[in-house]
Amino acid sequence: QVQLEESGPGLVKPSDTLSLTCTVSGASVNIDDYYWAWIRQPPGKGLEWIAYIHFGGTPNYNPALRGRLATSVDASKNQFSLNLTAVTAADTAIYYCARGRIAATSRGWFDPWGQGTLVTVSS
């Protein structure tokens, strides 16, 4: 059974960098069939896709956040990470990591998800 768990600070100051890590259990992060994803949800609002990451390829980022994003995969720790720079209050959200699928005949879905971690941007 694949499980994901987000970790990182719950409070980040404006203009600082938000750094989160997702630890995967029950599956290896360095497999071809799946991507790893970050998705966020501002409190009381809808979902927003942030990034797709694959251990062996170039990450795909939401154009609205590109330029502020950096991601990585650490196969030795079975983790993947997200860095979002120059944060503002608009980046306050629950951040989820998830396993994603991009294949010829099946793509764009996320399963399973981590439980999410609330990151608040405030001084």
In the complex, what is the shortest distance from the CB of residue 62 to another protein, in angstroms, rounded to a whole number? 6
Please report, to the nearest 10 degrees, the dihedral formed by the alpha carbons of residues 4, 66, 8, 89 taken in order: -120
Question: Total binding residues for another protein by CB under 8 A?
Answer: 24
Under the criterion CB under 8 A, does residue 19 sit at the interface with another protein? no
From the list 43, 46, 56, 67, which residue makes contact with another protein (rule: CB under 8 A)? 46
Range 61-100, binding another protein (CB under 8 A): 62-64, 96
Distance of closest approach, residue 44 Cβ to another protein, in angstroms: 10
Q: Is residue 36 within 8 Å of 110, Cβ to Cβ?
A: no
> CA 96 to CA 14: how far, in whole Å?
21
3-state DSSP assignment of residue 6: strand
Instruction: Select from 7-15, 16-24, 26-34, 110-118 the region that touches another protein (CB under 8 A).
Output: 110-118
Distance, CA of 19 to CA of 42 (rounded, Å): 17
Q: Which two tokens stand for residue 26?
A: 């029950």
Determine if 38 is a binding residue for another protein (CB under 8 A). Answer: no
**Are the CB atoms for 120 and 9 separated by under 8 Å?**
no
Q: Is 109 in the site for another protein (CB under 8 A)?
A: yes
Give the nearest distance from C-beta 67 to another protein in angstroms.
Answer: 14
